[in-house]
Amino acid sequence: MSDLVAQWQVGLSDGLHKVEFEHGTTTGKRIIRVDGEEILRQDWLFKLVGKEHFNIGKAKLVISIDAVTGFAYEYTLEVNGKPLEKFKENQSKIMKSWVLTISGNPIRVVLEKDTLDVWVNGDKMETAGEFVDDGTETHFQICSHPAYIKACSSGKRKTGIVHTLIVDDNEIPIAKE
């Protein structure tokens, strides 16, 4: 029988990761899985509350187990020292993501706005930047398909720069994560 008590989706540059946490409140068992792979297992812990630290790539994550009332527990996830919701909010400011399908295969493209690195399905791409009349274009290949991310001013101070992914001359809508 599974003691699965919490699941989270964590969007990082190298992709979207599923974190699962099992907590056996009678045995003290703790299991952490990332993308279906078990990365931590502890059996027969006497202390039922506490923290579990682990990494996904360069990201540092912490699951906190807190007693709420009686034998009820609350599970929270922090990523790089921030609660998951705050982390997601910050990620949306520094990353842009797109999801598309090429030859039946799902493709996730991520632009890190602070470094201008481009990731495709978790692989950092070789890119070539080019200045154009209304901004810049960052060119790369996705499965031998020409692609580029166009950056241009929105003309509005609050909005700032708008990033658009173009693959095979088609605009790809931004992902909702």
Question: What is the DSSP-derived secondary structure letter of residue 69?
Answer: S
State pLDDT tens for residues 157-175.
Answer: 888 899 999 999 999 999 8
- Read off the pTM: 0.77
* CATH 2.40.128.180 in the chain, residue ranges: 4-80, 94-172
Question: How many angstroms separate the Cα of 18 from the Cα of each of 36, 62, 81?
Answer: 8, 14, 18
pLDDT the model gives residue 177: 61
Q: Mean pLDDT over residues 135-154, rounded?
A: 95
Q: What is the mean pLDDT of residues 126-142?
A: 95
Q: What is the pLDDT of residues 81-91, one digit of tens each?
A: 999 999 998 88
Looking at domain 4-80, which of 3.90.550.10, 3.30.70.100, 2.40.128.180, 1.20.1530.20 is its CATH number? 2.40.128.180
Beta bridge partners of 16: 11
Average pLDDT, the chain: 92
- As given in the structure block, the two tokens for residue 1 are 């029988």
For residues 110-132, average pLDDT:
93
Residues 140 and 149: their CA atoms lie apart, in Å, by 9
Rounded Cα distance between 3 and 111, Å, is: 37
DSSP 78: E
d(CA 112, CA 2): 37
| Mean of pLDDT values over 120-139 | 94
DSSP-based three-state secondary structure for 95: strand
3-state secondary structure of 148: strand
Task: Report, as an integer, the average pLDDT of 33-54.
Answer: 92
| Band of residue 1 on the pLDDT scale cut at 50, 70, 90 | low
Q: What's the CATH fold of domain 94-172?
A: Lipocalin (2.40.128)
Contact (CB, 8 A) for 127 and 140: yes
How far apart, in whole angstroms, are the C-alpha atoms of residue 14 and residue 110?
Answer: 8
CB distance 148 to 137 below 8 Å: yes
Q: How far apart are CA 4 and CA 30, in angstroms?
A: 10
> Over pLDDT 70: what percentage of the chain?
99
